[in-house]
Structure 1
Amino acid sequence: MQLQEWTMEEQEQLIHFMTTNTWPYHGNSHPARKLIEKAIEEGGYESDEVKTFWVENDQSDKVGIVKIYDLQDEIPLFDLRIADMSRGNGYGPKALRLVAEYVFGLHGRKIRLEGHTRQDNLAMRKTFERAGFVKEAHLRQAWFSPKENSYYDAVTYGITREDFMAGTTTPVIWEDGEKGRVAATSPRIPDFPESFESERLIIRAPKMGDALDVWNAIVNSMPALREWMPFAQQQPELASTEENMRKAVADFITREDLRLHLYSKETGEFVGSSGLHRINWAIPKFEIGYWLASEFEGQGYMTEAVIRIQQFAFEQLGARRVEIRCDEQNIKSRSVAERAGFILEGTLQQDSLSPDGNVLRNTCIYAKID
């Protein structure tokens, strides 16, 4: 991993990078070309106060960009952005450590380096913490989002020159005003969107109106589903599918289970069902499950969905572990896990019964960790 200084000759590359990726936690999540051109012209990416660097991985691919500004001050700030397709690979903390190394290596003895983000941007907050930064401020309703026309809390993280040079982390002591004790914060479930997209799919929370789509897909896919899915042992009644949908909607609201339905962006057709199950918010960890309507098999939809859902889990939900569990003999399901980059951690022998309850089967456990 390295930082490669951006030059004015790379203006088109910068504009392409900024306008083709999405920045949901920035003031402008989809900056327009003219806005970037104006910022470049006015010295917003290169001047005595500002320097911009490409973030390059070990293969010299440009996976992100970082702008360091207020360079004439003793306390510079930065703006780090990782490309959509490169998120979830651990590039952020490595890049941020390189930024700190650059700043504290400058002449003039910089005192500290700091950055700000929205309170619910868990991916960036993890990046700060893993790079040795410390949370130093929590500002209520200080971050305005034009897209949602609402305010969010903001947080500030910083690292001092002394801590960076010593390789230490000095926590801030938050006093409660009475006993001077460190404030304890209760773990909480983060806020997160109920809909997001991949290249070809809309991936969203279940709705009661989905029941007929789901029922039709199950009925038409019974031969393929019966071998692996307990719910497909008998053709379901529409009423039972509606009842199941009602529970799925309720579980999503209470965050006990996060079923996700997959719809084609092009045609609006129901493609399949996935989601994050067996949730442990204390870690947090999740298990991805999935099934596909037979007419969409062999087109890469489920692999695409799983890649996007695990990205959502790590970036939006703060996941530390995501699993996929499947029958050892379910080659299609195992192939999805492997194509999505999950690692086979082990196989549990005689761990489960076949969906018809007649045969003992082995369970493969695939996982990704962050």
Structure 2
Amino acid sequence: MHLEEWTMEEQEQLIHFMTTNTWPFHGIPHPGRDMIEKAIEEGGYESDEVKTFWVENEEGEKVGIVKIYDLQDEIPLFDLRIADVSRGLGYGPKALRLVAEYVFGLKEKKIRLEGHTRQDNLAMRKTFERAGFVKEAHLRNAWFSPRENKYYDAVTYGITREDFIMGTTTPVIWEDGDKPKVFVSPRRIPDFPDSFESERLLIRAPKIEDAPDALRAIQRSLEGLRKWMPWAKPEPELHMTEESLRKAIANFITRQDLRFHIYHKETGEFIGSSGLHRIDWSIPKFEIGYWLSKDFQGNGYMTEAVVRIEQFAFEQLGARRVEIRCDEANMKSRRVAERAGFVLEGILKQDSLSPDGNVLRNTCIYAKID
């Protein structure tokens, strides 16, 4: 992946990119052609103060664009935008690291790089964090949305030259007397695809448009889910499912948690969800969780999905340990683990509460190691 400098000869490509994608967390989510043409004419994309770059993936596809401005100052700013179809694929953190590499590689020694976003733009906030930026400000009612005629909170993230060069992340000292802690990432997280297949299933990262499919499956399976899943206790609604997916997408982008949606390859039907959770990249180790729609139980789909996800964890992510944890009384979940070849390592007595909070439960720990 790399940055390719935009030129005035590519004006039409820029206009097409900006007007055919949507920008829900920007002041103008659907900019028109006239607006982009005017910005180009006034030097908004190329001048002594501004440089614009295409974000290109390994196949040379233009998956995003970034504008770096205030280049005459010691503290440049940037505006990073990823195309609709390319979101959720991990391009954001990689692009942001490339932006930092460009800025701190300039002959004029820039002292820091910063960016701003709306407080509820979780994907962008995770992108900042994944790229080594630190939250430095939270401004209440500072981001106006003309479309909604409403103010949102704004947040500022920054990275210093020293942190970038040393590969460290130094938190802000918010109170006098606090001592800063320096975090050094223990292990590079590998690149990996966001979808893969088994014999009958497509297993892929979640998308926001999956919400209606997931909601229907949850609604049809509530009786069974509520026995074991605390998140299934409230009556599900579309906005709740969408909010859950936004968080899952953000966590997938930043590699903090990897939720997967499972679709039937022949029919295209949503049949359930799984994923790799409680991730410790320093080992690396993962926990597989799963639930299956009531309509598709009894056909071996979840066992097939778990076997494939386990293979993905060991082969693509370099896992040294993969676990499955489930309630001792959840015999369906236990049978999936056993059919997938996981070994029961132990049972933790009185380890958790039932979803209603009234009963102490035992937890089975199944595992495979490399």
Q: How far apart, CA to CA, are the structure 1 residues paired with 2:339 and 2:34?
A: 53
Partner of 1:155: 155
Q: Do the aligned residues in 1 keep the contact of 2:273 with 2:291 (CA within 8 Å)?
A: no
Q: Name the Cα RMSD after superposition.
A: 4.8
Partner of 1:330: 299
Q: Do the aligned residues in 2 keep the contact of 1:289 with 1:324 (CA within 8 Å)?
A: no
Equivalent of 2:268 in 300, 303, 311: 300
Q: Do the aligned residues in 2 keep the contact of 1:174 with 1:182 (CA within 8 Å)?
A: no
Q: How far apart, CA to CA, are the structure 1 residues paired with 2:57 and 2:19?
A: 21
Specify the SS of the correspondent of 1:66. Answer: strand
Question: Where in structure 2 are the equivalents of 1:235-274 lying within 5 Å?
Answer: 250-252=234-236, 258-259=240-241
Q: How far apart, CA to CA, are the structure 2 residues paired with 1:124 and 1:8?
A: 28
1:103/1:336 CA distance change after superposition, 3 Å = same
Q: How far apart, CA to CA, are the structure 1 residues paired with 2:11 and 2:65?
A: 13
Q: Do the aligned residues in 2 keep the contact of 1:66 with 1:81 (CA within 8 Å)?
A: yes
- How far 1:64 sits from its partner (Å)? 1.0
Q: Does 1:106 align with 2:106?
A: yes
1:275/1:93 CA distance change after superposition, 3 Å = closer
- How far 1:330 sits from its partner (Å)? 3.3
TM-score under structure 1 normalisation? 0.59
Q: Deviations over 1:89-122 (max 9, x none)?
A: 2211111111111111212221211111111112
Partner of 1:17: 17
Q: What stretches of structure 2 of length at least 5 have no aligned partner?
A: 181-206, 225-230, 277-285, 315-321, 343-370
Q: How far apart, CA to CA, are the structure 1 residues paired with 2:287 and 2:149?
A: 33
Q: How far apart, CA to CA, are the structure 2 residues paired with 1:165 and 1:127?
A: 19
Q: How far apart, CA to CA, are the structure 2 residues paired with 1:250 and 1:336?
A: 27
TM-score under structure 2 normalisation? 0.59
Partner of 1:85: 85
Partner of 2:51: 51
Specify the SS of the correspondent of 1:126. Answer: helix
Q: How far apart, CA to CA, are the structure 1 residues paired with 2:234 and 2:78?
A: 41
Q: Deviations over 1:160-181 (max 9, x none)?
A: 2222222222221001xxx644
Q: Do the aligned residues in 2 keep the contact of 1:205 with 1:252 (CA within 8 Å)?
A: no
Q: How far apart, CA to CA, are the structure 2 residues paired with 1:167 and 1:11?
A: 36
Q: Deviations over 1:78-99 (max 9, x none)?
A: 0011122222222111111111
Q: Does 1:135 align with 2:141?
A: no
Identity of aligned residues (%): 58
Partner of 1:268: none
Q: How far apart, CA to CA, are the structure 1 residues paired with 2:307 and 2:132?
A: 33
1:286/1:71 CA distance change after superposition, 3 Å = closer
- How far 1:69 sits from its partner (Å)? 0.6
Q: Do the aligned residues in 2 keep the contact of 1:19 with 1:32 (CA within 8 Å)?
A: yes
